[in-house]
Amino acid sequence: MVKLATSSLAILAAVMSTVTARNCTPSLSYCGAELLDIGNYASEILEALRLAGEPTDALHRKNSLFYCTGGSGGEVLFEAYCGIDCVWGPTGRDSYCRPKDQLADLEHHASREGHLFDELIAT
């Protein structure tokens, strides 16, 4: 009885994973974390990074930009490493790396808010 229940759960899990997983849309760019969210792209991401001569650590896997070439498996090619700021595009639109000048503005704003917070706490 336990074996039957375990087998049933394994089959259900396999069916559910195929229902929720999907391929990327050809000609769109995706952040690595986005690809991992929409489907089983772990091996495709690693392969694309290796082919491009890029590191394969977790930060590069999640925060690199990949171009979807399509195909039956939703193949992807490495486009760029975004650092910590790969921005997911809305459905049907490209994801992108946040421009460096916007990162500097965000860092300045965060730093300014941090100083204001420190001043508030000190008073």
Taking only the tens place, the pLDDT of each residue in 80-96 is 999 989 999 999 999 99
- Separation of alpha carbons 69 and 27, rounded Å: 6
Q: What is the pLDDT of residue 120?
A: 46
Cβ atoms 97, 103 nearer than 8 A: no
The model's confidence at residue 100, banded by pLDDT at 50, 70 and 90, is confident
Taking only the tens place, the pLDDT of each residue in 19-32 is 456 889 999 999 99
- Separation of alpha carbons 46 and 60, rounded Å: 9
Cβ atoms 29, 67 nearer than 8 A: yes
- Separation of alpha carbons 58 and 49, rounded Å: 11
Q: What is the pLDDT of residue 35?
A: 96
Single pTM value for the model: 0.67
| Burial (Cβ within 10 Å: 0-12, 13-18, ≥19) of residue 29 | buried
